[in-house]
Amino acid sequence: MALEEHSLIHILDAVPALLWSGRPDGRADYVNRSWTIFTGREHRDLIGAGWHNALHPDDLRRVLDALGQIDRNARDRQMAVRVRDSLARYHVFLIDIGKNVEPRDGSSSFYAAAIEMCNSDDGHYANRALEPDRDSPWTRIPVMMWSARADGYLDFVNERWTQHTGLPLDEARGAGWQSAIHPDDLNTATRAWRKLIESHTEGASECRMGSTEHGYRWSLSVAHPLCDDSGSVIRWYGAVLDIDDCKRAEDKLRLNQDYLNDAQRLTQTGSFAFDPSSGAFCWSREMYRIYGYEPSTQPSLERILARTHREDVGSVARMFDQIAAERHDVDIEYRLLMPDGEIKQIRMLAHPVDHRGSQYRYAGTVIDVTEARAADRRLQEAHADLAHATRIATLGELTASIAHEVSQPLTAIETNGAASLRWLQRDTPDLHEVELAIERIRRDARRANDVIRQLRALARKDVSARKSASINAVIRDAMLLARSQLIRDHVTLVLDLATGLPRIDLDVVQMQQVIINLVTNASQAMSGIVGRARTLTVRTLLNDRDGVRVIVRDAGTGFPDDHNETMFTPFFTTKPNGMGMGLSISRTIIESHGGTIWALNNAGHGAQVIVDLPGQEDRVVWRDGQAG
């Protein structure tokens, strides 16, 4: 069958591409037969604005915008869109939009061609009849078209094809078209073409087309066989789209994706998207590595929970339930238990992002913090060792006064014991006096015992252990050891402790160490002061974050000017026998409790050190987020 037997419109109807034309307002006055076959809709339902219904709603706006701007934009426009087939499945098409100016009145119209990106084999375009019914200027259609005999002999190319390759039909005829293919792609292209001719099936291939003179551009070529009733090929029809820009964008995207993968690998950070309405997940490559799944695995909540440590499964499942029901920011740390028994510490952060109007999705990251947490632990242990060493040193400094603190009740016990004996040895023992003396003995013994208990607690090298405690009780206990130092320095202690304060998760021994440091510093700062009262006030109150504030205020020398921060650096001291570790260790302890500590000079005399401690928190934490 020779080409001359078909009008151009036959080719338009036969090419495996959606072709249509119309006005810049998006109303079509022509749609080719491929439209009706692919979408399963009648021609009359596609004409005008009818074709809009076959496009994915999210993509239609972009296409209509491009058509609307065709007057201003002389260049062709390309974009990927989703088109719904007769079974309501979406397929991705590459649309190419071209502009035509009517010679009669100078008005603009558009020509558009769409080729399916991944050609499917389900025969949308198969066995169509040819119904020439229209005359049109389609030789300028923005898609390259060609047609070949059943044996593969090319006998037609349109104007666009010639423009693109620089080859007129005469030179392209037969196998002449091969000189328009990039030499590196020629083998692949001819092999693909031969395979189609042998298999009588529709197919597509990508190659670079053009010339050495004008350069090559990536093109997507689709070929479709027209068969007779017996299934023999009568003729081939093809369409070629210039996909060079897409290809470059794709290469750039792939390169960026590679960079992102490398960056995620290096930082051990995976990223994911989660659609709460469908429960669907999308994972980056690093997410698969962290969770120990093959990249071919379909990610799901079940897969996440399957790897989650038994003790953390409940809180993770609850968290996903809640973020599916309501928008929340997520910041959660939990453990994974891998199939080989390895335990990983994971931090997950996620944020809701708007998606299609009222709907939202989550974008998130998962960071493998196992090594960081192990390093944190080692650092904490080192700090604990240092804190212990300085505690021992502080106790060494306090030994003289503590010894006094213990020997004083012991002496009193001895005195009261001797007195009791005397009351008993009388002719008429005075049992009432004896009872009073024994009561005093018990009180003094308890006092000595408390001091020794406190001393032993501070000297012990406990692994850090937190428990819910009252800050006022911690301060009172610490005062047992610090009191004698205050007496020696002639300091008056005022305890101004608020009632009804919340309990706080504390390492009690460490917190006592902080109080002793601050109180001994204050006492030492006042030891040389004459002419004013040496008053030390320890005050507690509720802070503005529902936590507790402790203020240790003295009337001493005050901090050396501008040194308010330097004092917190290790080994900074102005004392002849000072170690310069007290404030530095105190800051480490307070910060490890999530609190802050700072110092300032009073308006009059002396200085104060202020400690803020947060209220109690759960171990697995996730915060409520703001909408959007």
Residues binding ligand ADP (CB under 6 A): 517, 521-522, 525, 554, 556-559, 567, 572-575, 578-584, 607
Tell me the helices (H) and strands (E) count for the chain, helix number first: 16, 22
- 262 vs 385, which CB is nearer to ligand ADP? 385
- 384 vs 581, which CB is nearer to ligand ADP? 581
Give the residue closest to ligand ADP by C-beta. Answer: 582
Cβ 489 vs Cβ 526: under 8 Å = yes
- 109 vs 584, which CB is nearer to ligand ADP? 584
- 513 vs 540, which CB is nearer to ligand ADP? 513
- 570 vs 625, which CB is nearer to ligand ADP? 570
Cβ 540 vs Cβ 497: under 8 Å = yes
43 burial type by CB count under 10 A (0-12 exposed, 13-18 middle, 19+ buried): middle
User: Which among 120, 122, 170, 163 has a CA at the least distance from the CA of 139?
Assistant: 163
State the nearest-atom distance from the C-beta of 579 to ligand ADP, in Å.
4
State the nearest-atom distance from the C-beta of 594 to ligand ADP, in Å.
22
State the nearest-atom distance from the C-beta of 457 to ligand ADP, in Å.
21
Cβ 437 vs Cβ 423: under 8 Å = yes
Cβ 257 vs Cβ 333: under 8 Å = no
Sign of CA pseudo-dihedral 174, 176, 180, 186: positive
State the nearest-atom distance from the C-beta of 573 to ligand ADP, in Å.
3
State the nearest-atom distance from the C-beta of 577 to ligand ADP, in Å.
8
b/e per residue 424-452 (b: at least 16 CB within 10 A): eeeeeeeeeebeebeebbeebeebbebbe
Per DSSP, 296 falls in state T
State the nearest-atom distance from the C-beta of 608 to ligand ADP, in Å.
8
Residue 371, number of CB atoms within 10 A of its CB: 11
Contacts of 93 (CB under 8 A, 6+ apart): 18, 80, 81, 82, 83, 114, 115, 116, 117
State the nearest-atom distance from the C-beta of 514 to ligand ADP, in Å.
10
State the nearest-atom distance from the C-beta of 598 to ligand ADP, in Å.
12
CA–CA dist 117, 42 (Å, integer): 24
Helix, strand, coil % in the chain, rounded to nearest 5 = 40, 25, 30
Residues linked to residue 354 through DSSP beta bridges, in sequence order: 360
- 269 vs 520, which CB is nearer to ligand ADP? 520
State the nearest-atom distance from the C-beta of 611 to ligand ADP, in Å.
13
State the nearest-atom distance from the C-beta of 568 to ligand ADP, in Å.
7
CA–CA dist 262, 250 (Å, integer): 18
State the nearest-atom distance from the C-beta of 463 to ligand ADP, in Å.
25
- 378 vs 532, which CB is nearer to ligand ADP? 532
- 90 vs 572, which CB is nearer to ligand ADP? 572
Sign of CA pseudo-dihedral 210, 214, 217, 222: negative
- 366 vs 555, which CB is nearer to ligand ADP? 555
b/e per residue 299-308 (b: at least 16 CB within 10 A): bebebbeebb
Q: Rg for the chain (alpha carbons), in Å?
A: 42
* Alpha-helical regions (H) of 426-551: 431-459, 471-488, 508-526
- 165 vs 540, which CB is nearer to ligand ADP? 540
Cβ 623 vs Cβ 334: under 8 Å = no
- 22 vs 582, which CB is nearer to ligand ADP? 582
Question: Residue 46: which H helix or E strand, with range?
Answer: helix 43-46
State the nearest-atom distance from the C-beta of 397 to ligand ADP, in Å.
9
- 491 vs 567, which CB is nearer to ligand ADP? 567
Cβ 424 vs Cβ 437: under 8 Å = no
